[in-house]
Structure 1
């Protein structure tokens, strides 16, 4: 039976740290499975951290921003809209229409945008960027005339057309009220 410390030491100095190498060690030393898995996980994480540390600062910032904007898009127009709607007490369709192509972004009250950004735990700029990108779904249709882009409607017109129930209107007013911080 091989010495545990020798096996783990040999494992750490392997030229390539890959699942194939791990599998080989697990087959040869099944009695150290738990230790080998823990060590592989630790070494993989440290490799990942080292790679990330070597990324240029601009790349890290851009990646973080892109992830936040993606979170906004998923929350408003994707899989997360159901949870967001339930959390804020507004219908899913209301959030899906907050695409800048539908509602004029400049007409949205700042308190509403701030409250929505706070609910999503993102910066205001990330929220706006996500709304400007919309749902990203293109619709192909045939038409007899040239396509023309319809102007987005004003926020309060959109709210009026949304047909919100009384409880949903109260939820919207709560979101519009903000927390008083600027």
Structure 2
């Protein structure tokens, strides 16, 4: 039986924690609502990020330049800057929501895309990767903490297929993938 879109989105909204892992689980259970789920996650994350930022003590704001670059990446891809960044690139805002290490297997991300994003953001490729890995702003532990029944990450190409990009957006993405950063 086909899931009801409103029910799925309502369930998603009232999840206890709004994490990329939850998003991924919903994307895999309800691929037909990928765009709605990404957009909703995006809206919810932006309001979360904004309130989290507002509550940061001042001394944590004076962090290392690397941390600032990573924060810039997070802002541009998942935060308050994503609307503008997505518009500049010509890709849907929600597309960036899923470019997250908990959703997409980061090793499956084309290096050319990571380079192009780093280029556009004026940061290092490693900053882009770190930004994608910092799920909830916690440092990434390299130990395996796969919970039983954890949902495996989606391969980048599968994610692109799920994201339902228009032909124009597909072309934009292809040109980013072809961009080796030398311009």
Q: What is the TM-score with the length of structure 2 in the denominator?
A: 0.58
Greater displacement, 128-137 / 148-157 = 128-137
1:105 maps to 106
Distance 1:135 1:82, change over 3 A: farther
Q: Which runs of 4+ in 1 moved over 6 A?
A: none
Largest Rg, 1 or 2? 1
**Distance of 2:105 and 2:159 partners within structure 1:** 9
Residue 174, structure 1, aligned to residue 167, structure 2: no
Q: Distance in 1 between matches of 2:181 and 2:114?
A: 13
- RMSD, aligned CA: 2.1
* Higher relative contact order (CA closer than 8 Å, sequence separation 6+): 2
What is residue 155 of structure 1 aligned with on the other side?
156
Change (3 A) 1:135 1:170: farther
**Residues of 1 paired with 2:74 and 2:111: CA distance?**
19
Per-residue CA deviation, residues 80-139 of structure 1 (Å, 9 max, x unaligned), is: 1001100110001100100100000000111011001101110001110000013549xx
Secondary structure of 1:164's match?
Answer: coil
**TM-score normalised by structure 1 residue count:** 0.58
Aligned length: 113
Q: Is the 8 A contact 2:119 2:181 kept in 1?
A: no
Give the Cα–Cα distance (whole angstroms) in 1 for the partners of residues 123 and 96 of structure 2.
Answer: 16
Unaligned runs of 5+ in 1: 1-59, 138-145
5+ residue gaps, structure 2, are 1-61, 139-146
Query: Is the partner of 2:171 in helix, strand or coil?
Result: helix
C-alpha separation in 1, matches of 2:158 and 2:180: 25
Q: How much does 1:178 deviate?
A: 0.8
